[in-house]
Amino acid sequence: MSNNKRLTSSPIIHHFTKLGSTNDTAKSLLEEGHEPAFWVVCDEQTKGRGRRSKEWVSLKGNLFASTTRRITTEPNKRASLSLVAGLAVVDAINKATEEPSSELTLKWPNDILVKEAKLGGILIEAQQSVRPDQTDLIIGIGVNIIANPVVEGRDTICLQSLDIQISRDKLLEHLTNTFQNRINQWDEGRNIEEIKAHWMEKTSPLGTMLTVKCGPEYITGAFMGLDTYGALQIKLNNNTIQTITGGELVSLIEKEKT
């Protein structure tokens, strides 16, 4: 069941009690002709998807939401928008607390962590828009509010266990605001440098040793920051800098298990 709400100067939010995946429903709504930027949220998500074809275990009471944005088709815009989304989620959670938490961090490309434990994740998918020079992005956001799933090989955490009490609807209200604020700051990518600077404040210090899984390959090196558009840069043993546009940071323990 969908119940569409539009508050003054607020985005349209399509609310459903139960869905497979909010990203899939957002895609269907785009195909039916609904114009971005709208949001889809559900109380129960039965086929939540994570990055790299992983399942997103969707425990009832947590946030499952997707928003849509129409952008001009340039390959780098998607990467930089990913940083925007991560910052918006951190901003929204910080609004629920008395003072911003320095414990909330971002892991490239856009995991939301508290001391290495995963609190939330973002899945960005793209589809051709009505006009050939435009792309529609579906930005799916999951935040563990009241429960954290047991996921093999990684720690997870939820807001409640951090003593952050916030309802799903309040967090969504903050998120719709913070997302739009960060989108405005991003300014269609013209202000990516400012976004990158804020993102860098929330991630591991430069020089941290990272391992990235790119397909079947593992690449280890020192974190050197982000390139112009938000791709990850690491310095390899042979002192060359490698730019990584797609991949997943893994812990060394995870790597050793394989």
d(CA 55, CA 111): 15
CA 178 from chain center: how many Å?
A: 13
Tell me if 61 sits within 8 A of 165, measured CB to CB: no
Give the C-alpha separation, 15 to 3, whole Å.
5
Q: Find the part of the chain contacting ligand BTN (CB under 6 A) among 134-142, 170-178, 180-188, 217-225.
A: 134-142
Amino acid at residue number 177? N
Instruction: For ligand BTN, give the closer residue by CB, 140 or 189.
Output: 140
Give yes or no for residue 136 binding ligand BTN (CB under 6 A).
no
Asked if residue 140 binds ligand BTN (CB under 6 A), the reply is yes
Grouping H, G, I as helix, E, B as strand and the rest as coil, residue 252 is helix
Beta bridge pairs of residue 217: 214
SS3 of residue 99 by DSSP: coil
Is residue 25 a contact residue for ligand BTN (CB under 6 A)?
A: no
Of positions 36, 86, 109, 142, contacts ligand BTN by CB under 6 A: 142
Comparison of 17 and 191: residue with beta carbon closer to ligand BTN: 17
Degrees, nearest 5: CA angle 132-136-139? 160
Q: How far is the CB of 99 from ligand BTN (least distance, A)?
A: 26
Contacts of ligand BTN in 3-22 (CB under 6 A): 21-22
d(CA 141, CA 120): 7
Dist CA 81 CA 69 (whole Å): 10
Q: Which of 13, 14, 23, 135 binds ligand BTN (CB under 6 A)?
A: 23
CB of 56 to ligand BTN, least distance (A): 4
# of chain residues touching ligand BTN (CB under 6 A): 19
Pairwise CA distance, residues 242 & 231, whole Å: 10
Does 51 bind ligand BTN (CB under 6 A)? Our answer is: yes
Of 65 and 93, nearer to ligand BTN (C-beta) is 65
Residue number with CB closer to ligand BTN (149 or 218): 149
Give the position of tokens 């909330």: 104
Could you give the 3-state DSSP secondary structure of residue 120? strand
Count CB-CB contacts under 10 A for residue 100: 12
- Distance in Å, CB of 93 to ligand BTN, minimum: 15
148 lines the binding site for ligand BTN (CB under 6 A):
no
Q: How far is the CB of 90 from ligand BTN (least distance, A)?
A: 14
The answer to whether residue 111 forms part of the interface with ligand BTN (CB under 6 A) is yes
Contact positions vs ligand BTN (CB under 6 A): 21-23, 48-51, 54, 56, 64-66, 111, 121-123, 140-142
